Amino acid sequence: MAALATALLAGGCSGPKTEIRDNYDPDTDWSRVKTFVWFGIQAQRGYSEFNVKRLANAIRDELQRKGLEIVGDRALADVGVAAYLGVLPKAVDTWKRTDGFLWTKDKELVSAGTLVVEIVDLDKGGVIWVGSAERQLQDDPTPDQTQKNIKDVVRQLFADFPPKES
């Protein structure tokens, strides 16, 4: 399991696709969201503490890049941010050569890393944004590859954050 954690959402440009989903409360006034408090990451047992730390840093950095300021006191924050990390089996299509020019399509079970981030309105007490990223795990990436992949996935996850005003 720890080896899987090292590979969280890994892969290069030609590697597995990252599936990004997000949803938000349409009644939220995003112009008033200026500060956040970090609640932390709840990770499935067996995850590398190094990668949990890399993910936490990447999420905080990306939110700051988006213009939010991190504060240490919940009383001073507009929103709270929490993340969840896990690995689930996922069926993917594979193509295998059977004879000469013939290929067959098959299903293969692989491990998929999943990151979910929730943003909670601290005044109203409800989730106002949730995003998830899922990607097939890479075997034995280097620490540098892992760092780059984590930053890439987190940047993709927050690409459309904050939601545009309608």
Contact 115, 133 (CB under 8 A): yes
Task: Inform me whether the pLDDT recorded for 91 exceeds 90.
Answer: no
More confident residue, 145 or 103: 145
Could you confirm whether domain 2-157 is CATH 3.30.160?
yes
Query: Pairing mode, if any, of strands 102-121 and 79-99?
Result: antiparallel
Task: Inform me whether the pLDDT recorded for 88 exceeds 70.
Answer: no
Q: Whole-structure pTM over 0.85, yes or no?
A: no
Where in the chain are the domains?
A: 2-157
pLDDT of 105-134, one tens digit each? 666 555 567 899 999 999 999 999 999 998
d(CA 132, CA 84): 9
